[in-house]
Amino acid sequence: MCLAIPGQIIEMIDPVKNIAKVDVGGVRRNVNVGLLVADGEGVDIGDWVLIHVGFALSKVDEEEAAATLNLLQGLGEDFEDEIEQLKTSDIS
């Protein structure tokens, strides 16, 4: 199962390449935020975004992010698989 997981932007790694570091439940990985920059929405440190296959797809508010994480954690193995994939991803 493929999931879009909420993560919080904690650092802009490379503004030119649109790479930001996000935190997803303690797992920190670089993701591409170019899709949000391209549509004019932009991102800032502290923003919550939905992440799928290394790309931030949309921004969400903190309440929605918390509710989504709670729901996803209830999926058990599918959520754990997605977190494991996130741990091994490498975008630079």
Q: Three-class SS string for 63-77? A: HHHHHHHHHHHCCCH
pTM of the prediction? Answer: 0.80
Residue 43 Cα to chain centre, angstroms: 12
Give tens-digit pLDDT for 3-53: 688 999 999 999 999 999 999 888 899 999 999 988 777 899 999 999 988
Domain 5-88: assigned CATH number? 2.30.30.140
Helix, strand or coil, per DSSP, at residue 22: strand
Residue type, 75: L
The pLDDT of residue 40: 79
